[in-house]
Amino acid sequence: MHIPTLAPETLFYLFGVIPVTNTIINAWLAIIVFLIIGILISRRASLRPGKLQNFFEFILETLFGYFDQVTGDRKKTLRFLPLVGSVFFFILLSNWLGLLPGTGSIKLGHNFLLRPANTDLNLTVAMALTAVVASHVYGLVTVGIFTHLNKFIQIWPLIKSFKHGPIAIFTAIIEVGVGIIEIISEMAKVLSLSLRLFGNIFAGEVLMTVMSSLVAFAVPTPFMLLELLVGLIQASVFAMLTLVYLSVLTAEPHGTEEH
């Protein structure tokens, strides 16, 4: 029995320099599947949709309903859908691809050829960074540079407070401290998003490996069904948290009035 290690296994080096791991193979497979589906849908798209187009339109309408509950605005939903939808479907598909026969059993040299992409902490951290950075970019574009940065940096109010007495200075110092806490919380978002996804998928991979090694046929089936559900839940959690970050940072600060 081979228990998966925390670090993915390197299969070979591209151009002799870039390491290609078994988790990257899984990610490439997910991207290829998306590419094929996108080409098929784009070529067959019509006002009288077929079964494939109907199926994906149903999925998108379902996502719209859930996303609207978070954003409260269909325009925001449509604006955030390319990023959040891509994250959701990529995580979901890469998780489910990890349940395909051959994952954790087919070897290339001394290492396994396939391994769920989200058991690689590098990938989950990269996706978490993308989600958090994108939320700030959207925030900068939507509410403006100074309004957005004012949520985190309160130096100028502190300087002006020296003209208004000790109470104003004390209040300004508190605001600076709150800003520092907000910056730390943004860093914590990356940790929480990446570690939550990595931990759950890695634990599931270890569980499936152990159960398949003990009993190869009937017993692992319920655990595979459980992993299907876990894959869907983790994709939904990651996507919804990304959507929340986008919605919060693109909203006008409390107390802002339009004239």
Write the pLDDT tens digit of every residue in 151-187.
777 665 656 666 666 776 767 677 777 778 888 888 8
Confidence of residue 124 (pLDDT cuts 50, 70, 90): very high
d(CA 81, CA 66): 11
pLDDT at residue 117 is higher than 70: yes
What local confidence, expressed as pLDDT, does residue 111 receive? Answer: 77
Q: Cα(161)–Cα(250) distance, rounded to whole angstroms?
A: 28
Q: Which residues pair with 12 in a beta bridge?
A: 20
Q: Which amino acid is at 242?
A: T
Contact between residue 106 and residue 160 where contact means Cβ atoms under 8 Å apart: no
Prediction pTM value: 0.82
Both tokens of residue 216? 């190869």
